[in-house]
Amino acid sequence: MRFIVILFSIIFYGLAAFCQDEVLSGLFFSSHEVIQEKRTSLYLTPSGAFKYPGGFSLEMEANFRRGDGHYGYIFRIIGDDHTNIDLVSNLATTSSNFWLVLKDKVLVSYKWADVPNSSFDQWIKIKVDIDVRNSKLVVSFNGNKQEVVVPDISGLKNFDVVFGASKINSFLNTDVCPMSLKNIRIFDAKNKLVSDWKLSKHSQSKVYDEIDASEAIAENPIWIIDKHVKWQKLKDFTIDSIQGVTKDEDSGRIFFINNRAVYILSTKTSAIDTIFFEGGKPYNAAGKQIIFNKYTNELWSYNFNNTEICKFSFATNKWSFNDSTIKEPNFWHHNKFISPIDSSLVTLFGYGHYIYKSIINRFDTKSKVWSQTDRTDQIQPRYLASAGFLNNREMLVFGGYGSKTGRQELSPEFYYDLYSVNLNDYSFKKLWTLDTPSTPFVPCEELIPAKQSDSFYTLIYNRDNFATYLHLAKFGIEKNVYQIYDDSIPYKFLDTQSWSSLFLDQKTSRLIAVTTNNSDVSLYSIAYPPLMPEDVYQSDSVVGKLQIELTILILVGSLIFTLYFLIRRKKRKNKHVQFEEQIEHPNIVPIELRERKTISSIYFMGGFQIYDRKGANITGSFPPTLKQLFLFLFLYSIKNGKGVSSAKLDEVLWFDKSGESARNNRNVNISKLRTVLEEIGGVEVVNENSLWKIKMNNLIFCDYTEILHLIRQSKASGITETEIIELLALLSFGEFLPNIQSEWMDAFKSQFANETIDRLSSLFIENVVKGNLNLRYHLAESILVFDPLNDEAFSIKCSVLYHLGKKGTAKNFYDSFCREYKHLLGVDYAVSFNDTIK
């Protein structure tokens, strides 16, 4: 019973968490809003047509959008290279909106009104059953089925499937329905699920299904899940003399206020509604001293020297009074909020007249009195801190810039500490402090606790630079751990002239970033929850896992078949039955993936990973800058054996900093790197002859150096079959540092690919490989990973498949290669199939 309760709890809370933090998925199809060459296509059968002599079912979810050019293809199914079954749309007509077409004849049609619970921007379930045996087609939109008998599909066996634009010969089209698709599934004639493309995780132009890793090719894809990875600019505009920016999170509104009007931006549409004042004005304060009070639906403008709140009513479009007095703010970059306990207006911290503050200002709306509480004994004076509600009784305050004494001239510093604030008595409790990061940062005005309340988000930036960047960061609440997300927002910071904030838009489930610099305003969004690139990248590990499972099945199956064959042969011999010897085609034996070492190991293939001397994965100890520094030193040390100069490091990694600042950053990061490398043991950063380099002892394992060793050593002394298999196994883990994208890295990737291709190609003439079809196949496969249009590797793979008796697979591979060749190079592949397999 206890087990059932625990299991139920895990399922319940797991589902609750999933529902709260739902990740978007699907493929957005570019349609008539772009030129023909930029429109989207998804090709499910690049490796050869589906073989379903009895028929099959195609199921998907589609989301249709408004816009120019509502006409277009949803999908085309091509049977036996001559019979097209098309689902076509014209979303804007008043008659029929969807048609199922066979060749040039409309079989069934739907109006919007025929589809239950449907409209634009809603997911609709579509299913098409192709029943070849009974010559019948069944179509369903959200459960509304239509059925038609069609003799023309009788006997069809092979089916190509393409969504959106089609480049299939004789069935070309560039009219793409303005849509998004997800959860594409294929069922066989027995209604068994055989393919399942979620269209969620992906590589750049490929996506694999969840059943057997069948590959689909996307052209001009826009992956919806990437909205969780990259910031999207919502709007740029200008408002003169901005006096305040505040927001209404519940309604998805952002207010920009100057001395003439309130500008209300809708986060859903990005449209701006302007309300000109019909009376009164806000306080003429430059310190962003305006806040939206959600309890009264008013804008509140406040002045620390005045006991009246100037309130803006959306009913009358008037401020409660007019005070044009201008005073230098005493609390620049403070934090502000309306207390959920007593509706009082509260501000925290700030800077003014060369003094940082630990002061809490509280305006009691009943007594109309400002009160001040100095918390210097609990938290150091600061400004540029981040604050946000953890719940209705507690706030979190993070970071900032200030000094212990509050005086600007006495050792100001960055703070990387987290406090909880009791909203009853405004007492502070310190939770943790971070180690000083290699690059200093301060947070934006607000922090957003995650929905599970174990962490929070905020934007961070370097206040020491004018041309800086905002990076989204996630921090633990109980533990002092953090993660900085890859994408960034350009930000011009000039202290009192700049401002930034972050909030969670509940209506659209997005994080919204707002920046202002004088009169310039920019808004950006990223889908919630934010993700790292590796979280959405569908790597070869998915395929690899399936290959391992398939290998086990093949080996078990081969063993059973061998035993059966031997027993049968023995029985036949005992009966003195004469039979003709059968010629068996050997199967291709997959390269066995070697188990990765986890003691003092460095991996680059398939992604950057490092393990310390105890076997712990310490990859997380390498934030982006430290990772770039390590790789730069490591690769140059391997390349020339000498290393790189300080000037070269500064030029590549700290090009945006002055000489002194770059030098300081270099020294701090090298010191940090040395500390981390001590955990591995046997790896160190040294400076020899004024050049920085990485030195490793022989106990350290690195897949990259091992591959280079096998390649280079074998050129001089030859190579054994065991060494070839070891080389192929190392290469099989994936691409070389796939998630590291930078200009300096491109040269290393290109050199590595060229050297690998050249050596693998040269192995085809080695005696150990010449007669070994299995090795020839895997060598060709590895080359095609680096160079998909390599003629020699293609010909060898195709020939091996053919001579192993896999003639259909060889022909499908040949056809797929020809299509890709034509698509990328614009010319037909000149070598025939018969010449290829010779």
Which tens digit of pLDDT belongs to each residue from 222-253? Answer: 999 999 999 999 999 999 989 999 999 889 99
Greater confidence, 241 or 568? 241
- Residue 126 vs residues 139, 208, 628, 656: alpha-carbon distances, Å: 7, 21, 47, 52
The letter for the amino acid at 425 is D
How far apart CA 336 and CA 346 sit, in angstroms, is: 6
Q: CA neighbours within 13 Å on the CB side: how many for 712?
A: 9
Angle between helices 721-731 and 773-786 in degrees, nearest 10: 30
Query: Residue 579 — pLDDT band, cuts 50, 70, 90?
Result: very low
- Mean pLDDT, the chain, rounded, equals 87
pLDDT greater than 80 at residue 714? no
Alpha-carbon torsion, ordered 239, 244, 247, 248, to 10 deg: -110
CB 653 within 8 A of CB 631: no
Query: Residue 369 — pLDDT band, cuts 50, 70, 90?
Result: very high
How far apart CA 630 and CA 470 sit, in angstroms, is: 24
How far apart CA 641 and CA 643 sit, in angstroms, is: 6
Query: What mean pLDDT comes out for the span 721-728?
Result: 87
Give the H/E segment covering residue 41: strand 41-43
CB 181 within 8 A of CB 42: yes
Q: Rounded to two decimals, what is the model's pTM?
A: 0.64
CA angle 248, 259, 253 (to 5 degrees): 15
Tokens of 595: 């188990």
Percent of the chain, pLDDT > 90? 55
CB 219 within 8 A of CB 40: yes
Query: What mean pLDDT comes out for the span 62-89?
Result: 91
Task: Choose among 759, 274, 268: nearest CA to 525.
Answer: 268
Residue whose token pair is 């009784």: 393
By DSSP bridging, strand 50-51 and strand 345-348 are unpaired
Query: What mean pLDDT comes out for the span 455-481?
Result: 93
How far apart CA 193 and CA 188 sit, in angstroms, is: 7
Query: What mean pLDDT comes out for the span 54-63?
Result: 97
Strand (E) positions, 639-716? 683-688, 691-696, 701-702
pLDDT greater than 80 at residue 83? yes
pLDDT greater than 80 at residue 551? no
CB 703 within 8 A of CB 735: no
Q: CA neighbours within 13 Å on the CB side: how many for 573?
A: 7
Q: Among 359-368, 507-516, 737-746, where is mean pLDDT lowest? A: 737-746
Instruction: Please report the pLDDT score of residue 506 as a whole number.
Output: 87
Greater confidence, 568 or 788? 788
Instruction: Please report the pLDDT score of residue 218 as a whole number.
Output: 95
Tokens of 172: 């070309």
pLDDT greater than 70 at residue 531? yes
> Which residues lie below 8 Å from residue 75, measured CB to CB, with a gap of 6+?
58, 86, 87, 161, 162, 163, 164
Percent of the chain, pLDDT > 70? 90
pLDDT greater than 80 at residue 375? yes
How far apart CA 325 and CA 328 sit, in angstroms, is: 10
How far apart CA 322 and CA 310 sit, in angstroms, is: 8
Query: What mean pLDDT comes out for the span 285-313?
Result: 92
φ, ψ dihedrals at 251, nearest 5°: -105, 0
Q: CA neighbours within 13 Å on the CB side: how many for 132?
A: 20
Task: Choose among 339, 336, 303: nearest CA to 321.
Answer: 303
Query: Residue 489 — pLDDT band, cuts 50, 70, 90?
Result: very high
DSSP 620: G
Query: Residue 578 — pLDDT band, cuts 50, 70, 90?
Result: very low
By DSSP bridging, strand 394-402 and strand 413-422 are antiparallel
Instruction: Please report the pLDDT score of residue 619 as a whole number.
Output: 87
Q: Which residues pair with 414 in a beta bridge?
A: 401
What's the pLDDT tens digit per position in 588-606?
666 666 677 888 999 998 8
Query: What mean pLDDT comes out for the span 724-744?
Result: 84
Query: Residue 576 — pLDDT band, cuts 50, 70, 90?
Result: very low
How far apart CA 747 and CA 801 sit, in angstroms, is: 35
pLDDT greater than 70 at residue 108? yes
What's the pLDDT tens digit per position in 152-196?
999 999 999 999 999 998 899 999 999 999 999 999 999 999 999
Instruction: Please report the pLDDT score of residue 305 as a whole number.
Output: 87
Greater confidence, 678 or 738? 678
Instruction: Please report the pLDDT score of residue 740 as a whole number.
Output: 82
